[in-house]
Every structure is written in C-alpha cells, then in structure tokens.
Amino acid sequence: MSLTVEIVATKPYEGQKPGTSGLRKKVKVFTQPNYTENFVQAILEANGAALVGSTLVVGGDGRFYCKEAAELIVRLSAANGVSKLLVGQNGILSTPAVSSLIRHNKALGGIVLTASHNPGGPENDFGIKFNCENGGPAPDAFTNHIYKITTEIKEYKLVRNLQIDISKVGVTSFDISGKPFTVEVIDSVANYVRHMEEIFDFAKLKDFVSGKATGKPLKMRIDAMNGVTGSYVREIFLNRLGATESSVVHTTPLPDFGGLHPDPNLTYAKDLVDTVAHGDYDIGAAFDGDGDRNMIIGSKAFFVTPSDSLAVIAHYLEAIPYFQKNGVQGFARSMPTASAVDLVGRKLGKEVFEVPTGWKYFGNLMDAGRLCLCGEESFGTGSNHIREKDGIWAVLAWISVMQHTGKGIEDILKQHWSVYGRNYFTRYDYEECASDPCNEMVSTMEKTITAPEFVGKSYSSGGKTYKVKEADNFSYTDPVDKSVATKQGLRIVFEDGSRIVVRLSGTGSSGATVRLYIDSYEKENVLGQASVMLKPLIDIALEISQLPKFTGRNAPTVIT
C-alpha cells in the first residue's frame, strides 16, 4: 500500500536556537503542538537538496520522550524524501555510537535525541541535535541555518499513517507516494563494540582486566548512571573484557535516569566517588546520559582532572593500537581547558590547537588530518576515530595506559607531573541563575577587562600577586575553513600563565549558568591541593567579576 505525504500548516516558535550542542528545553516545551515537528522539519530542510535519497541515523539516550520523538522523525523523514533511516532499537544510541554509525554507513547525518548531562523525565529536559556527514555536531553556520528556518516555518511534511515498531531489530520498507523508504532498526551496541575492538587490543585488555596477565583482577567500578551507556558497558566490560558483574552499576538506561543527575563530576557522581573512596578499587569511572562524557578516578577516589586525563592519554598514545597504526597528528583542547596537553604536544613536536567550547570546533581539524586527540575540561575526551567525545573510549584508553605502565592511576599522574609540571584547575558552576543579571555581569566584566588600563594591573590575595598580561573575549578563526566564532568567553591571562575564564553555559534549558574556570601552572610544587593552591586566584576572580553581587550567590552549585 502506498502511503501519502501530508502538508501540515504550522507557525514558528520562538527560541529554537541550538546552543553549545543542540536544542535543549523542558519536555513540556518539546511536547507542545508542532514544537518538535517544526524543529525536525528545519533540520531536514537545512540539508537542502542532499536530503532527497539520503540515509540518516536516528537515536538517543533513552530519556523520556526519546521513543516518541524517534517515531515522529521517521514520519517526517519519510515525507521529506529521505530514503533510508538507521534507527537504534527502542530509539537508543549513545552520542558516540551515532557518530560512528554515520561514518561507517556514509550517511548524510544523524539526529541525536538527548539533553546530555541534563536531568531527564517528564518534568526535566529533552534535546535534539544534528550531526553532519563527518559524524560531528553541526557547525555554527549549519545550526544558524536551522534556526533561521524555525523562525520562518509555515508548514511541515508528515506521513501520518506510517506505523513502525522500533522495539524490534529488522528492516521494513515502505512505498511513499511511489518512492521507496526503508527503516532499519539496528542493535544499539553492535557497531560501536566492533569499532572499539578495532581501536584497542581487547585480548590484551581482557588478560589485564581478568587478572590472567597480572595474577589479580583489575578492580573497577563503572557507573553508567542509568544513562545510555548501560548497554554498552555490559557488553564491553562484562562480556568482552571479562569483568565481574559487581564491576558495573546503574546499567539499565531509564527514562528519568532513576532520578540521578547523569553528569559525571564530583558532585553528581557522588555515589561513585564515595564508594571508590571507601572501597578497594583500582579505577572508577562514570558517564553522562548520552555517553560522551567521562570521569576517571583512581584508588581512594583520586581525582583525575579532564585536562590532566587528556595530557596523560596524549603522552601514552603508543599504548593504543589505533594510534600505532594511524600515526599521531596534533592535539587540541577547548579554551577553558587547562593547558597540560600543550606541554605534551610541545615535547612530541605536535601542533596543538585551542578552540572554543563545544566539540563541533574540533571536526574540521580532524577532517583535515591535523588533529587526532582532543578534550574539554567538562569531562570530554576523544579522538579522531569519530567526531564526538567518547566516554567509554576514554575508559578503555585509561585501562590501556594502566596495562601499558603497570601502574596505578595516582602514580601515573604523579609521574606525569614530575616530568611536565602540574596545571592546577578548578571550575565553579553557578546553575540556574537569573538570566538578566548574568548577562549584565558578563558585559560589565568585558568592559573592565578590555579597558586599556587593565593590562599591567596587579591583583593580590592570600599572599600571592598576579599581574595581568592580556585579557579579551575569546574569538577563534578556524584554521581550515577560516570561519570565525566570536564572544566565546572572557579570559584574563596573568604574567605567570595563570588564567581566569568566565562564560555563560550554552546547554541549559532555562535561566543562566555561570561557569568560572581557574587555571594555574606550577613547575615544581606539584603535590598541593587544588582548592588551596587556587584559592587566591578564585578570590581575585570573584572580585573582578563581581559575581556574588550580580548572581546573589555566595557559593557555586558544583565545584570541579
């Protein structure tokens, strides 16, 4: 039976502007009549003529409304001339898995249903983002185009009667007004697991994890935080690497993440941190809702900052077969990320890039063959095996480093610092503040720090004095396509290389979140406590930004 395309009249909704990584709003916003339809239609149209006859990947982190949204995308795609959809079973695919699938299938792109680390459930957040044919998040020019379409949209196209059961793996073909349309529901984990097996030496890792090689099994606690990684974690760590059942927790993806806030940091992954602090573990790890972030802790919950994690992996890339085979190109980090990886890059004679916050800025450099490893301070680490950060990949990289060195995590870090010195780093997040005062704070601070007399000024606190070397609102010119991103965060750099960075989050669903990043390098004094070492600079940052006055907050919501 041939199905027909229906044209449905609609009106624009305000505010469908993608942020750092897609559009994120409350579920109640997405479920308004035509809201999701409008945005998906805009994504499809933004692909222009390439959409007709294309293949797209669809999947998400399993949060509330994912399945309904995936089914809706099937009906909209069918009506807009897409020829094939690869849909994760039950709508489930991690963000790195989507990126991998797009690349393996040479798809035009993928629609990812996630609000990442934001809480899920009917009262919380949903999100949609588009990844392009390189597998990476759509660049600014593309998301601006999507946004423009949402402001002018008058109709969307739908095949209303198309019925599809995405709970069963299999291929279904349809006839849409005489044109073929295929939906292939795929196993959510199979392709990704194969990809990881190509990158790492699973046989070696299995002997290490199971204890066959060392005489004692690796004691792990891998916490999927009820997010999408649960299914991947079980297959990889239990079935392939032979870890024991008790090594993995919270491995059932739940629509509300079981009430957890699936953000792998010291505040929201408290259960992991407490358990590893009091128990007998060699490594603890957690991921966010969509599986692209990771937190790594060592025995006794020894915390590895994401900036250090990146630098250590860079130093030991030869422990990973993928890099032995493909070679090591340059490294990169987002601007607020501490510059530990730069030191490794310098030593190895590699290019090192500093890009704005958001994984989309790494893609061009990877596509141009100039970048193979990158990271963000926000618990993002990844390589050019895909075009997204990849939480499970990072844990496999760390286990490879442990296997390669025969050392524990704390020792690996201490040795690294003894060679390179240490970048002390902390981030303060002030979540859900009122928007207007935060915008005012940023514009006031921008005026202060870009005034000519600001450079050369000295600030003192806690017996330390810092002299301003330069200050700006970070802007970035992509070395490959020369596109420019402006206003990417206020940055004060002091003479000794220490930095204060302030920016507003682009991933929240309401209000404003202020992020304050503090970074200070020490060549010799590498065994201090970050909170103590950075206290003077934090006080100076609060003074210059007048953050307590503008936000009314005396303490951050999250400290990393």
For residues 75 and 5, give the distance between their C-alpha atoms in angstroms, rounded to a whole number.
Answer: 9
Is the CB of 88 or the CB of 382 nearer to ligand VG1?
382
Question: Considering only residues 306, 358, 363, 536, which one is a binding residue for ligand VG1 as defined by CB under 6 A?
Answer: 358
Min dist CB 131 to ligand VG1, Å, is 11
Is the CB of 111 or the CB of 243 nearer to ligand VG1?
111
How many residues in the shown chain lie near ligand VG1 by CB under 6 A? 18
Q: Which residues pair with 9 in a beta bridge?
A: 155
- Choosing from 116, 307, 334, 378, which is the catalytic residue? 116
For residues 65 and 59, give the distance between their C-alpha atoms in angstroms, rounded to a whole number.
Answer: 12
Check if 116 is active-site. yes
Site for ligand VG1 in 403-432 (CB under 6 A): none
Which positions ≥6 away from 188 have C-beta within 8 Å? 59, 88, 89, 90, 92, 93, 94, 97, 231, 232
Site for ligand VG1 in 290-319 (CB under 6 A): 292-293
Sole residue written with tokens 């933004």 = 46
Min dist CB 170 to ligand VG1, Å, is 30
- Site mask, ligand VG1, residues 68-107, x = CB under 6 A? ----------------------------------------
Binding segment for Co ion among 108-116, 433-441, 455-463, 535-543 (CB under 5 A)?
Answer: 108-116
Question: Considering only residues 21, 80, 83, 231, which one is a binding residue for ligand VG1 as defined by CB under 6 A?
Answer: 21
Question: Considering only residues 83, 89, 100, 116, which one is a binding residue for Co ion as defined by CB under 5 A?
Answer: 116
End-to-end Cα separation, the chain, in angstroms: 57
Site for Co ion in 491-530 (CB under 5 A): none
Residue 303 DSSP code: B
For residues 542 and 164, give the distance between their C-alpha atoms in angstroms, rounded to a whole number.
Answer: 54
Going by C-alpha positions, the residue among 73, 70, 74 that lies closest to residue 37 is 73
Q: H helices then E strands: how many in the chain?
A: 18, 27
Asked if 378 interacts with Co ion (CB under 5 A), we say: no
The entry of ligand VG1, Co ion, none that residue 364 binds, CB within 5 to 8 Å by partner kind: none
Question: Considering only residues 36, 116, 131, 426, which one is a binding residue for ligand VG1 as defined by CB under 6 A?
Answer: 116
The entry of Co ion, ligand VG1, none that residue 358 binds, CB within 5 to 8 Å by partner kind: ligand VG1
Q: Identify the helix (H) or strand (E) that includes residue 196.
A: helix 190-199
Residue 84 DSSP code: E
For residues 165 and 311, give the distance between their C-alpha atoms in angstroms, rounded to a whole number.
Answer: 45
Question: Considering only residues 507, 520, 545, 560, which one is a binding residue for ligand VG1 as defined by CB under 6 A?
Answer: 507
Binding segment for Co ion among 113-121, 164-172, 340-348, 391-399 (CB under 5 A)?
Answer: 113-121
Which positions ≥6 away from 60 have C-beta within 8 Å? 66, 69, 70, 88, 91, 92, 93, 112, 113, 114, 228, 290
Compute, in degrees rounded to 10, the torsion defined by CA atoms 26, 29, 35, 40. 0
Site for ligand VG1, rule CB under 6 A: 20-21, 116-117, 288, 292-293, 334, 357-359, 376, 378, 380, 505-507, 515
Which residues are marked as active site?
Answer: 116
Site for Co ion, rule CB under 5 A: 116, 288, 290, 292-293
